[in-house]
Amino acid sequence: MKRFLLVLCLVVALVGIPAFAETKTINFLEVMTSPERTAMLKGMIDEYESSHPGVKVNLISPPYEQADQKATLMLNSNQPLDIIEVRDNTIKQFVNNKKLTNLAKYYRSWKEAKTLTPVSVAAAKTVDNTPYIIPQCIFIKALFVRKDILEKNGVTTLPNTIAELINTCIKITNPAKNQYGFAWRGKSSEMKFSDYFASAYVKDIKKDAVLYSEEKNYFTDPRYVQGMKAYVELFKKGAPQDAINWGFNEQINGFVSGITPFLIQDPDAIPLIDKMLDPEKYVVIPVPVGPTGMAYLDYGFTGLGIPSYSKNAAQAWDFIKWMSSAEKNAYFCEHYGALPVQSTAFKTNKYFQGKHYQAFLKEMTTPSKYVFKPFPQSSPKWPGWGSIHEADMQSVLLGQAKLETVLAKWKDYWTK
């Protein structure tokens, strides 16, 4: 027995201890948590670990509502962390606090950096034109259309311009038949819709860094006012009046039911709609352009970064690079409902070759018509802006305030 234990100790000494000593654990904090998404990430981590012996990825998944706060706390207190999921609304804060690593040297040695879509590159360099993250998924808007409903109402052409969209919505609207045109957004980020309509009338925005800011805004510009008037007309003559209280779910229900055959939404609406409606009953096309011949689109994103104090930066980068390959990123986005960050994914992944995704690719690769302009999320005035905009816009739509008065108020808010 003693001889056996001696042999066992020798085996452990020669084999076991080095094996344990070589195991490296990297801590990965996700923030866009959901049971389905976390399960998918764990599956991908299992695949990475099986092909990288000696590496363990410890996934930290706080509840969604607390995740951003958890990320801030862990970074500010330098808690062990090697990979962090960064959102478009947190990247500025993390960089200002010097908590993210500049990934420029990693980008230079990464072949697939060259095939990132232009909007992905812009997202990566959101702060100081420096790549602090590799985006994992992109959200932009396109126009969803129920062609079957349009044909029932005698419409056989699709709108290329905002004017054509509004005219079609007004033409088919018949409250007596519960038929309307546009799936209006009245609540929660409704400004993204009014800004899309109004900004498309102002060519000068193209040269600005953001859609509006303390330094430059167009709220009282006659062209912007004209765009807002068209938007208000769309509500009054081409949308359900109770849609003034519609959020995402109500928009989707209005579209699926056929009450509103036009819907402007992000790609994550596609998997949801496909569960409720025959995919052959609708198409997705690029958003119509304004009188400028252009449309300004904002974009949302999440990405992966390396905390500035990480002691495992090289291994963290290897995992991020693996997750960001065209194959793995497309798999991730396919199951998450977002757009992939690699342009090659639209050619190699059958899901993104589907007809419902080609509109997004068209928008991302036609800079002469579709200009990506982020909101001023780093401005101290941004956090309170959404509630102000929503309340003012509802007052205008309900006839309780004049449009010109509200626009002057918005200009003052952003100028002072």
For residue 334 the two structure tokens come to 């396919």
Q: What is the pLDDT of residue 295?
A: 98
pLDDT tens digits for range 236-265: 999 999 999 999 999 999 999 999 999 999
Distance CA 42, CA 368 (A): 40
Are both 279 and 171 inside the same structural domain? yes
User: Is residue 153 situated within a structural domain?
Assistant: yes
304 and 294 co-located in one domain: no
Please indicate, yes or no, whether residues 96 and 202 belong to a single structural domain of this protein: no
Residue 375 lies in a domain: no
Enumerate residues 6+ apart whose C-beta is below 8 A from 260: 180, 181, 182, 183, 184, 239, 240, 243, 251, 254
pLDDT in tens, 354-369: 999 999 999 998 999 9
- CB of 179 closer than 8 Å to CB of 173: yes
Asked if the structure places residue 69 within a domain, the reply is yes
Other CB atoms closer than 10 Å to residue 103's CB: what's the count?
23
Regarding whether 186 and 71 lie in a shared domain, the answer is no
The verdict on 83 and 220 lying in the same domain is no
Q: Which two tokens stand for residue 405?
A: 């008065």
Asked whether residue 325 falls in the same domain as residue 285, the answer is no
Q: Which amino acid is present at 159? A: P
DSSP 3-state assignment of 262? strand
Residues 288 and 325 in one domain: no
Residue closest to 30 by CA, chosen among 73, 79, 76, 68:
68
Helix (H/G/I), strand (E/B), else coil: 295? strand
Task: Among 11-15, 95-99, 239-243, 260-264, name the one with the lowest average pLDDT.
Answer: 11-15
pLDDT recorded at residue 17: 47
| pLDDT tens figures, 68-83 | 999 999 999 999 999 9
Is 3 within the bounds of a domain?
Answer: no
Same domain, 254 and 385: yes
- Answer whether residue 112 is part of any domain: yes
Provide the pLDDT for residue 18: 46
Report if residue 167 sits inside a domain.
yes
Same domain, 126 and 149: no
Asked if residue 200 belongs to a domain, the reply is yes
Q: Are residues 293 and 406 in the same domain?
A: yes
**How many residues does this entry show for the chain?**
416
CATH number at residue 111: 3.40.190.10
Does residue 373 form part of some domain? Answer: no
Residue 42, pLDDT score: 98
Mean of the per-residue pLDDT values of the chain? 93
Asked whether residue 133 falls in the same domain as residue 169, the answer is no
What pLDDT digit, counting tens, does each position of 128-163 carry?
Answer: 999 999 999 999 999 999 999 999 999 999 999 999
What integer is the mean pLDDT of 339-347? 93
Q: How many domains does the chain have?
A: 2
pLDDT exceeds cutoff 60 at 14: no
Domain that holds residue 281: 142-298+380-415
- The reply to whether 256 and 405 lie within a common domain is yes
